[in-house]
Amino acid sequence: MAKIVFKNQTGNCPELFPVSIFDKIPENHPVRLIDSVVNSLDISNILKKYKGGGTSAYRSRMMIKVLFYSYLSNVYSCRKIAKALQENIHFMFISGNSAPDFRTININL
């Protein structure tokens, strides 16, 4: 009988310089295109609508990116978007690791 050899699992070993998970997203991935396009948009009219006061708000540009990428990915449910922001590397990238809950996302629709 042949000896079984398993691959090393490095997930439990700390690293001096941890790898950025966002480096795993290819340069030609649609999430990077959306990030670039929304960064170049003039959203001054949207920002004028903010009244201020109350608690701090999520950045408008980030919310636009999340909605654009969600629709591109055929994710329309606010709850599914909120879940993806916590579990999906592409959603984490586009939101800058922000994770608005489903109620906040729903207000922006």
Report domain extents, the chain: 27-39+60-109
User: What single DSSP character describes residue 58?
Assistant: -
Can you give the pLDDT at residue 74? 97
User: What single DSSP character describes residue 7?
Assistant: P
pTM for this predicted structure: 0.81
- Residues 26, 57: Cα–Cα separation, whole Å: 30
Q: How confident is the model at residue 21 (pLDDT cuts 50, 70, 90)?
A: confident
- Residues 21, 41: Cα–Cα separation, whole Å: 26
Can you give the pLDDT at residue 17? 67
Look at residue 64 and tell me whether its pLDDT is greater than 80: yes
- Residues 66, 71: Cα–Cα separation, whole Å: 9
Q: Taking residues 79-102, what's their average pLDDT?
A: 95
Q: What is the mean pLDDT of the chain?
A: 88
Q: Specify which of 44-53, 85-94, 100-109 reaches the highest per-range mean pLDDT.
A: 85-94
Q: Taking residues 30-39, what's their average pLDDT?
A: 96
Extract the tokens encoding 11.
């997930």
